[in-house]
Structure 1
């Protein structure tokens, strides 16, 4: 049966539309509280599969760029997105129950299924794929090479780290972890929310260096391949900030102390969430410094 499903259980199979219009499939192989261990299957076809398709029991092995025979599995937080199509359940085997994974990829979205498409491109259209990745990076660099990154009005360090200390990192769900900080910021002024955003962007910008990118764990920057996931590096920098002042300053001055295989994606959404709660309107604001990866030109020389 093909239907929408908002909750999830180990063994559940979901189909996702890939960038080229074909279908990919992911399977949940473990669940801890609100976190899901997602496996990308080898399924890649122009039609929606039936639950009996053998490819749905096969986990994709990745070899593109810096990957070396690595299983496409990762932990995600959040509810099942609306664009996930539930097709059935294949009970998790005893072997699968023993699978260990320390990779965390942030909030669950349809992009979790994209590795099967990227691997297909790597095998069947590698030159164009590599050129596209390089072109995207060069485009970002060209668009921003003349930008001067200067923060606008920021909080004092004491103010900023006091707010960051409100994150409840004992919570496994990012939204739950961020909630105390969002609620506190939402009770302050709009200008204060923007000052928080400015300070956060600047802290993330300072960590945007090649040396820091080399130290984020399994998917760190590979100099030979000249590749790293821009989003993955951003979320790792978010994790460094979320851990507080002492950890951040240690990592800033000693890149080898960057968090390994960790992320805290929701951090860059906190100002937006607080603003919406405060005003009931959408948040449109550009910080003086960009937190996006590769924006710190000096750091990537």
Structure 2
């Protein structure tokens, strides 16, 4: 089963922040998929606190709508990987070592594994999106921290709480086609 990604809609400007100085109403502040993956590439394929902190600093330099756009792209990438076939693959955590047995996945741990695929970069994400069996393997489940990058960058940039809601739900089981 090939992953399908729905077409993107414009960001919800009302959730992006209140001031034009932050680009809340400027459609040019939407990130392209290429830009999203360039920002992810700054992590170097690793889920390390220093990398996430640097990414937060980088995103905080953007307009608020662009930060929200980063979250939208992340939700789209996670949604595309959300499927029964991928969750059925044997997955290990890098923290457990390469010889550890695979373990049954909860919905939450499967989300962390999908985040690890995104952190690994566009090429890895595309491989797993195209072939559910490519989800099998050892992933750094510390990639959960990627979920908090956009909200932290937004708070740093605007001084406001994160209220943006992505169009797509990244939680496990939200992609009805992937679970049919």
The TM-score by the shorter chain falls in which range?
A: 0.7 to 0.9
Q: Does 1:286 align with 2:165?
A: yes
> 2-side partners of 1:210 and 1:194: how far apart?
28
Regions of 4+ moved over 3 Å: 149-152
Distance 1:252 1:204 in 2: 10
2-structure distance, mates of 1:175, 1:195: 22
Answering whether residue 52 of structure 2 is matched by residue 178 of structure 1, we say yes
Structure 2, unpaired ranges of 5+: 1-5, 11-29, 92-101
Picking from 31, 39, 52, the partner of 1:163 is 39
Deviations 1:6-43 (A, max 9, x none): xxxxxxxxxxxxxxxxxxxxxxxxxxxxxxxxxxxxxx
Displacement of 1:175 in angstroms is 2.2
How many equivalent pairs are there? 144
Q: Which string of whole-angstrom CA distances, capped at 9 and with x for unpartnered residues, describes residues 185-238 of structure 1?
A: 000000000111101101100100011111241234xxxxxxx41110000000
Deviation at 1:244, TM superposition (A): 0.6
What is the aligned-residue RMSD (CA, Å)? 1.9
**1:247 corresponds to:** 124
Larger relative helix fraction: 2
SS in 2 for 1:215: coil
Contact 1:240 1:259 in 2 (8 A): no
Question: What does residue range 92-111 of structure 1 map to in structure 2 within 5 Å?
Answer: none
Kindly provide the CA deviation profile for residues 221-276 of structure 1, in whole angstroms up to 9, marking residues without a partner as x.
xxxxxxx4111000000000011111100011111212634221011111001001
The answer to which structure, 1 or 2, has the higher relative contact order (CA under 8 A, 6+ apart) is 2
Q: For structure 1, which runs of at least 5 residues remain unmatched after alignment?
A: 1-148, 221-227
Is the 1:165–1:244 contact (alpha carbons within 8 Å) kept by the matching residues of 2? yes
Alignment partners' CA distance in 1, 2:9 and 2:73: 9
Distance 2:90 2:8 in 1: 26
Give 1 or 2 for the bigger CA radius of gyration: 1
Equivalent-residue separation in structure 2 for 1:242 and 1:160 (angstroms): 11
Task: Kindly provide the CA deviation profile for residues 35-87 of structure 1, in whole angstroms up to 9, marking residues without a partner as x.
Answer: xxxxxxxxxxxxxxxxxxxxxxxxxxxxxxxxxxxxxxxxxxxxxxxxxxxxx
Q: Alpha-carbon deviation of 1:181?
A: 1.2
For residues 126-180 of structure 1, give each alpha carbon's deviation from its aligned partner in whole angstroms, at most 9, with x where no partner exists: xxxxxxxxxxxxxxxxxxxxxxx8743363221111110111445x7x3212122
Q: Which residue of 2 aligns with 1:90?
A: none
Picking from 104, 110, 117, the partner of 1:233 is: 110
Higher strand share: 1
